[in-house]
Amino acid sequence: MAAAAGVSVQTFYAHYPGKDDLLMALPDQAEVAGLLASVPADLPLGERMRTVVRQFLQGLKGERESDALARWQLIAGTPGLRYRAAEYERVTAQMFLDALGDEARQDPAATVVVTAHLSAYTQGLLRWAESRGELSLEEAVVEAMDALRGL
């Protein structure tokens, strides 16, 4: 029985690059490009990023939101996972920059705007998790992103 359980776990984990990927999933490039395409390209980049994040959050309702809260509570309470979340954030920022094209990838200001907004998004998720969901997800993330406006 123990051997069979071990095989099942190994098979399960074989579908993921690491155990952290069970908690945090990177979007794929097409998803990032689709999110950006859903927002008018003539908006300032910061506003585009805020709109994309808000639209993404609208998809996290009901059970998806409860699942996300449980995952982010574990991440918030585990220092190693917090560091991994920052790594995922940076990889996702690069996906956004790639979706924006060569001009954005070569523009230091665009890099700062994208990475700052994704960092604010992560901080909002952590704050939401640390509040055990007492703050609304959107409130925590929007508050974190709004802090960037004052800089």
Average pLDDT by stretches of 10, the chain with 151 residues: 46 50 79 94 95 92 93 94 94 95 92 97 97 96 92 74
pLDDT score for 59: 87
CA–CA separation, 133 vs 28, rounded Å? 27
pLDDT score for 131: 97
Count of helices and strands (H, E) across the chain: 8, 0
pTM assigned to the model: 0.83
8 A C-beta contact, residue 37 and residue 96: no
Q: Write out the H or E segment, with its range, that includes residue 15.
A: none
pLDDT score for 12: 43
pLDDT score for 4: 47
8 A C-beta contact, residue 137 and residue 60: yes
CA–CA separation, 2 vs 97, rounded Å? 47
pLDDT score for 86: 93
Compute CA distances 49 → 20, 42, 67, 88, 98, whole Å.
Answer: 25, 12, 24, 17, 14
Q: What is the sign of the dihedral through the CA atoms of 7, 11, 14 and 18?
A: negative
Phi-psi region of 101 (alpha: psi -120 to 50; beta: other; left: phi over 0): left
Instruction: Give residue 110's identity as a one-letter amino acid code.
Output: A
